[in-house]
Amino acid sequence: MDELPGVELRHLRYFAAVADAGTVTEAARRLRIAQPSLSQQIRLLERRIGTPLFRRVPQGMELTEAGRLLRDGVDRMLGELRSSVAAARAVPPTASVGVCRGVPQPVLARAEGLMTRGGPLRIAYEQADSQRQGDLLRAGTLAFGILRTPMDESGLVLRTINDEPLGIVMHDRHPLADRPALTWSELAGQRLLWFPAERARGYAAAVLTRLREHGWTPETVPETHGGHSLFRHALLGHDDLVALRTRTGSVDDPDLVWRPVGPEPPRERLALAAAARTTWSRMLSADDRAETARS
């Protein structure tokens, strides 16, 4: 509307309201604004367009020929605008979601169920370590994060979406592979294929502390790649190397086996997180209140 400087959408709405109502008084009542203010806005619109739009008659306001032409255009414009607004509202919002490494598909599905409970949502996943996700969530770069706990929860709202004991993964010809379950003493001398602690410092510290409490302080072998092919390659052929995984997180691989270990194995807790006091965190909090009410 560069050729009509100063003409705003509200002026056109006021114009259409007066044309519909037939009087400024009735239009002002419908619009819930003062009658003198509405009259002033109509006169201002006429000056900016450069021609009278109404004839003032005893019965009220009657459109001039120019007014009728403008009214036809305004009706088309407002109709298209309503359709465009409705179409825009129908487009699901997009949420950027951080995912730490090794999240099992069933857990991803559970997280998606929570994130979309409030309505359709386009989810754009990006891999990010648990430690980094906290900063990205607080900065507003991520809407949600799927991460391992414990971690620094300041400024965040977390909801646990998976809580499982860790077990031992090893190659299928490992000396311990024929046992249906393992004890801590049987792991003496075994090295641990372990991820860099900076990816999830709180989780790494909690797990290694629990291992020491059970008398196993393994030498850790860094697992820096994060892919399954190199993970299995590291385990195959080594009779003194094992890894820790949940049963759900263990990929079905004919050359690897998973065995429970006890007593009181460390646990992996995965959480869906969002920055506090945001639309996303309110979705998690509302779901918590609903579950509390049902219980």
Backbone angles phi, psi at 229, to 5 degrees: -60, -45
Number of domains the chain contains: 3
**Is residue 1 included in any domain, yes or no?**
no
Residues 232 and 280 in one domain: no
Please give the pLDDT value at position 220.
96
In which residue are the tokens 């409970």 written? 117
Same domain, 259 and 276: no
Is the domain of 56 the same as that of 77? yes
The verdict on 233 and 278 lying in the same domain is: no
Whole-angstrom distance, CA of residue 106 vs CA of residue 87:
33
Please indicate, yes or no, whether residues 43 and 176 belong to a single structural domain of this protein. Answer: no
Task: Name the domain boundary from 69, 90, 111.
Answer: 90
- Domain range for residue 176? 163-269
Give the model confidence (pLDDT) of 4-25 as tens digits: 677 899 999 999 999 999 999 9
| Number of C-beta neighbours around residue 42 at 10 A | 20
Q: Are residues 134 and 79 in the same domain?
A: no
Q: Work out the pLDDT band at 1, boundaries 50, 70, 90.
A: very low
Residue 148 and residue 171 share a domain: no
Domain final position from 90, 109, 124: 90
Average pLDDT, the chain: 91
> Does residue 4 sit within a domain?
no
Q: What is the pLDDT of residues 181-196, one digit of tens each?
A: 999 999 999 999 999 9
Using one digit for the tens of pLDDT, what is the confidence trace for 74-124?
Answer: 999 999 999 999 998 888 889 999 999 999 999 999 999 999 988 889 999
Count of Cβ atoms closer than 10 Å to residue 245 Cβ: 21
Residue 274 and residue 157 share a domain: yes
Let me know whether 101 and 228 are in one domain.
Answer: no
Write the single-letter amino acid at 186: E
